[in-house]
Structure 1
Amino acid sequence: MPEFFHRKLERSTIGFVLAIIAAASVGGIVEIAPLFTIDETVEEAPDMRFYTPLELAGRNIYIREGCYACHSQMIRTLQDEVERYGPYSLAVESRYDHPMLWGSKRTGPDLARVGGKYSDFWHVAHLTNPRDVVPESNMPAYRWLARNSLRTEDLPLHLEAQRAVGVPYTDEMIENAARDAYGQASPDSDSASGVTERYGEETQVRAFDGVATRVTEMDALIAYLQVLGRLTDAAFLDTAAPQKPPEPIE
């Protein structure tokens, strides 16, 4: 009977088109309907901050090098994931992520809460040769990041693009983007104080790769990794996930 009905439907062009539209509509409704309640389902996070220019540059490098292909940034509500990685991910934590990097690919561990878990020195060693710190790792080395000077002249354009999709960067932040990227990785420079003035006292200002004389792609990527899971404390305030975020390791 189903086979007869299917053959009959295939012979009717209009009927077949209507059947395709009906089938596609089911998927569309499932995806679109939740958007009507988005204001009720996304958590509040008054302390939410957004990426500094250096952290945003690091995120771009993270995407450029394909890190997201092996590392998810989405801790699910499963007990074993919470015990291993920390509080499950909240939608509000990706509020300023464009594009967001949620997923389930776990060739390597989830990095949603890696910020502050390891020292900058550990990250430098890990990115230079992963097997020096994780002997069983199959991750490739990224040692050239320490040799590549960070390109900062186009950072204002990156911030403008982010503002166009909803990140509330101010004109002052955009104008000083290149200067702030340099200042965040150069704590003894005249530019360092402007970073905390514009992005808050919680901003991490230091030579992330251990070299204060120049700003490298290694600086940017580590700055980004060290802020993952630390843009807001919303997940740690949830009663179902009471763990506190780790203190940053210098």
Structure 2
Amino acid sequence: MPEIHRKLERNSIAFLAAILVVSSIGGFIEIAPLFTIDQTVEKAPDMRLYTPLELAGRDIYIREGCYACHSQMIRTLRDEVERYGPYSLAVESKYDHPMLWGSKRTGPDIARLGGKYSDAWHVAHLINPRAVVPESVMPRYGWLAANALTIDGLSLNLAAQRKVGVPYTDAMVKNATADAYGQAAPDADASTGVKERYGEATNVRDFDGNPGELTEMDALVAYLQILGRQTDIPYKPAAGATQPPTVAEK
């Protein structure tokens, strides 16, 4: 093998050809699965879109570097499923641009975080993590409750998402600013349009406990509360699968 390598290094044309062959093999392995993506990605007719407020919260999550310590992908290993919930499916990331699967867990995976804790818990945790999790090493994010959420550019954000395949309608893009405000103000007239455009399952409430003000805390908590809840597919047993017996059945 060393002798073959020496000959290749001394023959530039042969060395270039070898590089092209190896690169072609690697490229084919990377690209080939894309041709079968329709068969490999699950169907989820009930898949929900991020609302403008949730999308703004996702941007704040990225801005603050939360993805560096929390992954959003539960692997198929038994211990992960028992700890975090049903393993992640490809379809759950179809509207994530960019994806936030992550590769490091200083904190726990949060792919199934939505609905696990109350809004008040999340607010307290973000203001002072050690107030609810004494051993936490997470930094404080209390200023989010004081920062007014910038919503003027949300229509442009939704329009950009639509260009990469997220099926936002013209009405969603046009009403993005009003919908962001309405989702965090359940008593406002604007809240009605949010559920009309995004579905009855949409969380419409004051997320940060400070009614009348739309803050970055509202947006981030709204985003955290939708994680793992955009479709019910992961929580349904696969066809032909059997559920473990309950205590009463044993």
Give the TM-score normalised by the residue count of structure 1.
Answer: 0.94
Provide the C-alpha distance between the structure 2 equivalents of 1:41 and 1:27, rounded to a whole number of angstroms: 20
The one-letter amino acid paired with 1:226 is Q
The change in CA–CA distance for 1:148 and 1:126 in structure 2 (over 3 A counts) is same
Query: Does the 8 Å CA contact 2:68/2:102 hold for their aligned counterparts?
Result: no
Structure 1 partner of 2:74: 75
Query: Does the 8 Å CA contact 2:58/2:223 hold for their aligned counterparts?
Result: yes
Structure 1 partner of 2:32: 33
Q: 1:104 deviation in Å?
A: 2.7
The change in CA–CA distance for 1:241 and 1:36 in structure 2 (over 3 A counts) is farther
Unpaired runs of at least 5, structure 1: 244-250
Structure 1 partner of 2:225: 226
Report whether the alignment pairs 1:15 with 2:23: no
Structure 2 partner of 1:247: none
Provide the C-alpha distance between the structure 2 equivalents of 1:241 and 1:106, rounded to a whole number of angstroms: 32
Q: How does 1:126-145 map to 2 (within 5 A)?
A: 126-145=125-144
Instruction: State the percentage of identical aligned residues.
Output: 71
Say which SS state the counterpart of residue 102 (structure 1) adopts: coil
Structure 2 partner of 1:158: 157
Structure 1 partner of 2:176: 177
Q: How does 1:1-250 map to 2 (within 5 A)?
A: 2-239=1-238
Provide the C-alpha distance between the structure 2 equivalents of 1:48 and 1:97, rounded to a whole number of angstroms: 12
Q: Deviations over 1:122-164 (max 9, x none)?
A: 1001100111111111111111100100000000000000000
Give the 4+ runs in structure 1 shifted more than 6 A.
none
Say which SS state the counterpart of residue 207 (structure 2) adopts: coil
Q: Deviations over 1:202-235 (max 9, x none)?
A: 0000010001111000000000000000000011
The one-letter amino acid paired with 1:99 is P
Give the TM-score normalised by the residue count of structure 2.
Answer: 0.94
Provide the C-alpha distance between the structure 2 equivalents of 1:210 and 1:233, rounded to a whole number of angstroms: 28
Query: Does the 8 Å CA contact 1:183/1:189 hold for their aligned counterparts?
Result: yes
The one-letter amino acid paired with 2:39 is E
Query: Does the 8 Å CA contact 1:87/1:241 hold for their aligned counterparts?
Result: no
Q: 1:198 deviation in Å?
A: 0.8
Say which SS state the counterpart of residue 23 (structure 1) adopts: helix
Query: Does the 8 Å CA contact 1:130/1:141 hold for their aligned counterparts?
Result: yes
Instruction: State the superposition RMSD in angstroms.
Output: 1.4
The change in CA–CA distance for 1:242 and 1:116 in structure 2 (over 3 A counts) is farther
Provide the C-alpha distance between the structure 2 equivalents of 1:108 and 1:21, rounded to a whole number of angstroms: 42
Query: Does the 8 Å CA contact 2:73/2:101 hold for their aligned counterparts?
Result: yes
Query: Does the 8 Å CA contact 1:88/1:241 hold for their aligned counterparts?
Result: no
Count of aligned residue pairs for this structure pair:
242
Say which SS state the counterpart of residue 197 (structure 1) adopts: helix
Provide the C-alpha distance between the structure 1 equivalents of 2:41 and 2:190, rounded to a whole number of angstroms: 36
Provide the C-alpha distance between the structure 1 equivalents of 2:18 and 2:95, rounded to a whole number of angstroms: 39
Provide the C-alpha distance between the structure 1 equivalents of 2:151 and 2:131, rounded to a whole number of angstroms: 31
Unpaired runs of at least 5, structure 2: 245-250
Query: Does the 8 Å CA contact 1:75/1:110 hold for their aligned counterparts?
Result: yes
The one-letter amino acid paired with 1:176 is N
Query: Does the 8 Å CA contact 1:185/1:205 hold for their aligned counterparts?
Result: yes
Q: 1:241 deviation in Å?
A: 9.5
The one-letter amino acid paired with 1:205 is V
